[in-house]
Structure 1
Amino acid sequence: MDIATVIGLIGGLGLIVTTIFLGGNVVGFVDIPSAVVVFGGTVATAFIMFPLNVIIGTVKVIMKTVFFKSTDPHQIIRKIIELADTARRESLVALEKVSVEDPFMKKGVMLVADGTEESLVRAVLETEIKFMKQRHLQGQGVLKGMGTMAPAFGMIGTLIGLVNMLQNLSDPASIGPAMAVALLTTFYGAVLANVVFLPMATKLEGRSAEDQLYMEIMLEGVLSIQRGDHPSIVKEKLMAFLSPAMRESSS
């Protein structure tokens, strides 16, 4: 679980709720029709903007912002060095018997063990990376789209409320409450966009960049094994992908 996402969501929403409580009128911030207009309208627009399968897939993508198991790049590098050592002591064919958990790395290792040309191995793995990025961009696009539309529907709800209020100007006592209800939709839209949708989209961008980095490490590692590079050389090549701080943490 990504504790940072949980802390951010609870902290952001908690601060808003606490501020409302300190104001003393909690009930005044609850309006079901306003919530329905903003959330329902945002979701409905998402169905217009994106295909159904992309919307359904986004649910899994959203869960990745919370339930996410971080990958240790040093563990990836150690595994590749182990494979390089096996290939040098025995042969590339011997890699078929080595257990590799990561599906992407396993695909590359099997291609090398089967004697596939380096250019083809690179092409296959780079295609895998390319389409992984496209899948992630779709999920980010849905969240960014919803983050854009939530404030828009908040404004639409506010305009609806203002129209209803202006139609009842004969009762001055109802103007204040009606204005408050009208502004609630703008409030709901701003909260959904800036506390939920847009921060999650940004978190997914970071996750995607991280996944791409690790896949590129595996790609370079697999190709180095195929070239017959010494394990120490393989390690130096792969450590170059990491930041100085991450390199020091491995020592």
Structure 2
Amino acid sequence: MNINYIIGIVGAFGVFLLGCVMGINIGPKAAGKPPITFELSNLWNFFDAASIFITIGCTIFIVVASFPGSMLKAMPKHFKIILNNKMFDPKGYIDQLVELAQIARKNGLLSLEEKANEQTDPFFKQAIMLIVDANDQDKVRGILENDIE
């Protein structure tokens, strides 16, 4: 489970609730009151079922209008990736890239072929093999971007 996602959602909800119950007392009507008050009765000022329905409903339908059906079908998969960050370990890939760069600098690009065959990620393996095959940078970038899309 992605802890940053949970912290972000809980934090946003907390700030929202805090903003709803907080009152700021300024001006002539605030005489004798503290500048900031917290009253739970203020919370009901922000609850309106029609407004909530319009906001959430319109957001959903704008998302539907903004993306083709194939992308909408893939949304649950993307939410799963957001919630489960153990599938992708960017630090591991960075460490591997640094190691591969050192090997290539010392022994040349052809020495990367053996390391490419050890890779379990097919995308990463293909990227290394494209570099070993002496393709130019723009061609490698284009092929990998097409694969990502």
* TM-score with structure 2 setting the length: 0.59
Q: Residue type of the partner of 2:114?
A: L
Matched, 1:67 2:88: no
Aligned-partner Cα distance in 2 for 1:23–1:66: 34
What does residue 128 of structure 1 align with? Answer: 143
- Secondary structure at the aligned position of 2:62 is classed as helix
The equivalent residue for 1:8 is 8
Matched, 1:95 2:114: yes
Shift of 1:14: 0.5
Deviation at 1:71?
1.0
Moved over 6 A (4+): none
Larger strand share, 1 or 2: 2
Q: 1:77 aligns with which of 76, 98, 108?
A: 98
The verdict on how the C-alpha distance between 1:112 and 1:7 changes in structure 2, with shifts beyond 3 A counting, is closer
The amino acid that maps onto 1:45 is I
Q: 1:100, 1:106 within 8 Å by CA — same for their partners in 2?
A: yes
Q: Which ranges in structure 2 are unaligned for 5 or more consecutive residues? A: 22-37
Residue of structure 2 aligned with 1:104, choices 123, 126, 135: 123
Computed over aligned residues only, the root mean square deviation of the Cα atoms, in angstroms, reads 3.7
- Give 1:64 shift: 4.1
Alignment size in residue pairs:
127
**Structure with larger RCO (C-alpha < 8 A, sep 6+):** 1
What is the Cα deviation at residue 92 of structure 1? 5.3
> How many Å separate the matches in 2 of 1:3 and 1:93?
35
Deviation at 1:106, TM superposition (A): 0.7
Percent of aligned pairs with the same amino acid: 17
TM-score by length of 1: 0.39
Change (3 A) 1:93 1:52: closer
1:119 aligns with 2:140: no
Q: Are the aligned partners of 2:5 and 2:83 in contact in 1 as well (CA < 8 Å)?
A: yes
Q: Which whole-Å CA distance do the structure 2 matches of 1:129 and 1:54 have between them?
A: 19
- AA aligned opposite 1:127: G
Which residue of the other structure, out of 48, 71, 83, is the alignment partner of 2:65? 48
Q: Quick check: which one's helix share is greater?
A: 1
Query: Quick one: structure 1 residues 50 and 77, their matched pair in 2 at CA, closer, same or farther if it must change by over 3 Å?
Result: same
Q: Structure 1: 5+ residue runs without aligned partners?
A: 136-251
Amino acid aligned to 1:11: G
Q: Residues 59 and 94 of structure 1: is their aligned pair in 2 closer, same or farther, counting only changes over 3 Å?
A: closer
